Amino acid sequence: FSTDCIKNDSDKSKARLALRPCGWKLQQQLWKRDGVKDWPIEVEAGMLSNVATTRFNIDSAIPRITSAFQRDWKLYTLSLAIALTPIPLALFARNFVSFYAIPSASMEPTLLRGDVLVVEKLPGAYQRTKRGDIVLFNPPESLSKIITNNGSKLSSTSLFVKRIVGLPGDQNIRLDDEGNVEINGESAVG
């Protein structure tokens, strides 16, 4: 509402405004406290402070937020907690789980270029690793030099995606002419 169309200040303060409460809680409080049952009620404009003259007044933001928390502090606290919960969870979880997109076709047909992997980074991964698992690792410096010498680029965060074939204790790993892998004289599966 506005009394800007009234030129005289004394007339502005005497203007009668019809008000209706914005929420059912305020309406309920007015019923209990003042016995007001008929809406809208009429008040003189001079009874209202300048802060309360509009919902969109910057000066009224802090009092509105404060009164909202006083009225429904449980609801607002719960809402704020629910809204902020993902932030610490994401910061905590990124130390244990990450997403990686496959940048090349080196693992086809198992993994295609553009596939996204969910990778666990929990401690003890080396002890749980077995033949056939797919792992991500930082390339050794010698392999990085070969790649950059061939004209490809690697960033400092580039990881390699490969399947584990040999394990500690394997004596004889061979790749035949047909591309089959033999480990210790037996055909590798996977």
Residues recognised as catalytic: 106, 162
Write out the two tokens for 165.
Answer: 């074939």
Sign of CA pseudo-dihedral 13, 14, 18, 24: positive
- The string of DSSP codes covering 30-55 is HHHHH---SSSEEEEGGGS-SGGG-T
- Provide φ and ψ at 157, rounded to 5°: -105, 5
Element (H, E) at 101: strand 97-101
Contact 56, 65 (CB under 8 A): no
Question: In sequence order, what are the residues at sequence separation of 6 or more whose Cβ sits closer than 8 angstroms to the Cβ of residue 77?
Answer: 69
